[in-house]
Structure 1
């Protein structure tokens, strides 16, 4: 399986503190059935900013160890780009990294209110030939309150990545409910762990897929994983037509 969103670089952002912890995270990822993952350190997020040079330097050390140990794992470079009025310029000038050097750019929105330049930034990226992927929309307050906000983005050409922890209830009932509503409305296109450490925010992709399968989303889960792989190949992904929420909302039952 492919994990689209992870923070595995040591002494970089709010991920692992040491090289050894990074390696243990990679071992954990493999135990979860992950064979390929994208390292998406924060870009343009204040003190958590990680330069692309730092990304390549630290990934080189991890890749060397992976090769030495003959692990069945490939790691790719990327950034989780905090949206700003300069995001389009940063992406076009290659100041930040897209996902595995593809046309897809992982964009983080503020958890509170959306900035006034959100839609214009997304349109600017699309016009420049890049496809914005909204990271963990289920944790964004405007979207939690009204899924139609995300539907507007999706119908305008944006895509969205759900976090495994939301499916597993790690961010509370409100976020879990939002996650399943977005799935029910077919507004999600990718899945990622957003792994930061070994315990609280760890690699749990296999477990999340199992939950989705048990709660009636087996086909959708397979599509999300296929779309993850398509990003690595820089190929188009399958986008389902957004739907209105199910009246019975059976997916809320455990």
Structure 2
């Protein structure tokens, strides 16, 4: 029989409690500013679905990309304020913050070179992404600039980049150089591709994953989470030293 102490702490007589992921640091639910939620109604729908998955803190990371999504801190914070007001009106108990997912292009390089204010989450974590096919020529320069400005670069979904799938050493080099790696939970079920799943599993095996994100844009991603969270590598991921737990 479970002891009174164990009931209080959530432990069982069969072993230590399982970790639970309650903070998501990569999602696209701010309405109407990127390829995520298109309306406040859809934004609230996604937030509620993520709450149903056990999340109590969500960090919105809208795309910042010169050719498509020219989001600024002012635009992002304005939408964040609207969403937070709507969440309060619903009476939901969830923490909502915002940062950004910066695409490594000439615009982003210019912002780094000019030391323009960039949106971060947690301990100056700066989320960025690259082309899925080719490694950008300025990748290492961008990382150097981020670190020189006291940002902590977080590479979004490295498992999805073909240039890492074809050459794991390139990914390992970034890890050794202090780049934090964030995998998408849905990669664990092969949602994006089998190569992405295999690379995500390899990163978990080698204890190279710092963050796990939903990268939620729409209902289809929340539905995919249901399957992804049943995979053995999801349990293995939760047992690793994720920085999500400190957010």
TM-score, reference length from structure 2? 0.83
Corresponding position: 1:227 with 2:243: yes
Corresponding position: 1:166 with 2:184: no
Corresponding position: 1:111 with 2:127: no
Corresponding position: 1:40 with 2:61: yes
Unaligned runs of 5+ in 2: 1-21
Give the Å deviation of 1:48. 2.5
> Could you say which residue in structure 1 is the equivalent of 2:171?
150
TM-score, reference length from structure 1? 0.81
- 1:70-85 superposed matches below 5 A: 70-85=91-106
- The structure whose Rg is larger is 2
Report the more deviating stretch, 61-70 or 7-16. 61-70
Corresponding position: 1:68 with 2:89: yes
CA contact (8 A) 2:66 2:105 kept: no
Deviations 1:23-78 (A, max 9, x none): 10010010000100110000124223322212111111111121122212111110
> Could you say which residue in structure 2 is the equivalent of 1:236?
none
> Could you say which residue in structure 2 is the equivalent of 1:136?
157
CA contact (8 A) 2:129 2:156 kept: yes
CA contact (8 A) 2:100 2:119 kept: yes
Corresponding position: 1:202 with 2:225: no
> Could you say which residue in structure 2 is the equivalent of 1:179?
200
What secondary structure sits across from 1:106 in the alignment? Answer: strand
Q: Separation in 2 of the partners of 1:23 and 1:117?
A: 37
* Coordinate RMSD, CA, aligned: 2.0
Number of aligned positions between the proteins: 224
Q: Separation in 2 of the partners of 1:219 and 1:168?
A: 14
Match of 1:93 among 102, 116, 141: 116
Q: Separation in 1 of the partners of 2:70 and 2:204?
A: 31
Q: Separation in 2 of the partners of 1:203 and 1:60?
A: 27
